Amino acid sequence: VLQNLSQTPVLRELLKEAKMPGTTVKIESPELFMEPQLIKLDQPGPLTLAMYQFLTEMQETKKGVVTPKELFAQVCKKAIRFKGYQQQDSHELLRYLLDGMRSEE
């Protein structure tokens, strides 16, 4: 799930802009034939910042291995079910991750 999200350019660009509070972002999607949207962003929450840091590290690292410790810790704060390292479905992680970031808006 996180590898797929890291290859989503619109998400990466939005998170890059979101780390700076008070920024106005223009979202365009020529593929969807939508009118451009202007959105003023507030201070990002801890889950959003952890997601930004993780995706940046995935894109920029030369180490080969990236550990999502902080991102996982933030997800666990929003969704207790992920604590304890029990096996969960990837779609559950995606849902809690995106819902958690959306609730921080």
Q: 86 is in which domain, residue-wise? A: 1-103
Q: What is the pLDDT of residue 32?
A: 66
Indicate the Cα dihedral angle 43, 74, 56, 32, nearest 10°. Answer: -70
Q: CA-CA distance, 11 to 17, in Å (whole number)?
A: 10
Report the number of distinct structural domains present in the chain.
1
Classify residue 86 as exposed, middle or buried by CB count within 10 Å of its CB (0-12, 13-18, 19+).
exposed
Regions of the chain where pLDDT drops below 70 = 21, 29-32, 61, 63, 85-86, 105
| Backbone phi, psi, residue 27, to 5° | -105, 120
Q: Give dist(CA 103, CA 21) in Å, integer.
A: 16
